[in-house]
Amino acid sequence: MINTVRRALLLVAFSVIGMAGFYFFKTLGTSVEMENIKIKVMEKGVDVEIENFKIIHENKGVKEWELKADLAQIDNRQNLTKLQNVEMILHKGENRQYTISADFGIYKSKTDDVTLDGNVKLVGSAEGLKQRLSINSEKSN
């Protein structure tokens, strides 16, 4: 009687372990969802694909810039991220900010360089741009 109960419990334990392994391997390599973010592991050239991508860069607790994109494809071998429908917000203190948008972009994580391409638009205070351009033109003379 005791041996029969042991065998039944052992069979149940192996069944549970088998089902857990099956579900683990079934979901391996698929996308993961966290709130409104989806991460999908890719096979060729791109390591990770992220929807609703967002990076916030702060210096001593103060936001300097934000980078958002509808889709980001991260390639760790080349240390770059390809972006689609990009929006970059530059915070310039005193509640001033510039918003730059573009169809495509590339973010280099090592250098924090961002390259934008396709319908690039800049929205922000013209006064700040005038001051910056006049300072730069005086330096070039």
> In this predicted model, what pLDDT tens digit does every residue of 61-108 receive, in sequence order?
778 888 889 988 888 778 888 899 999 888 876 777 888 899 999 988
At 103 the pLDDT is 93
Both 52 and 10 in one domain: the answer is no
The whole-number pLDDT of residue 140 equals 53
3-state SS of the chain is CHHHHHHHHHHHHHHHHHHHHHHHHHHCCCCEEECCEEEEECCCCCCEEEEEEEEEEEECCEEEEEEEEEEEEEECCCCEEEEEEEEEEEECCCCCEEEEEEEEEEEECCCCEEEEECCCEEECCHHHHHHHHHHHHHHHC
17/72 same-domain check: no
Tens-digit pLDDT profile for residues 16-69 = 787 776 666 655 544 444 555 566 666 665 577 788 888 888 777 778 888 889
Domain containing 11 equals 1-30
Q: Per the structure, how many domains does the chain have?
A: 2
pTM above 0.75, yes or no: no
Asked if residue 108 and residue 79 are part of one domain, the reply reads yes
Q: Do 40 and 23 have their domain in common?
A: no
| One domain, residues 21 and 40 | no
- Mean pLDDT value across residues 1-16: 80
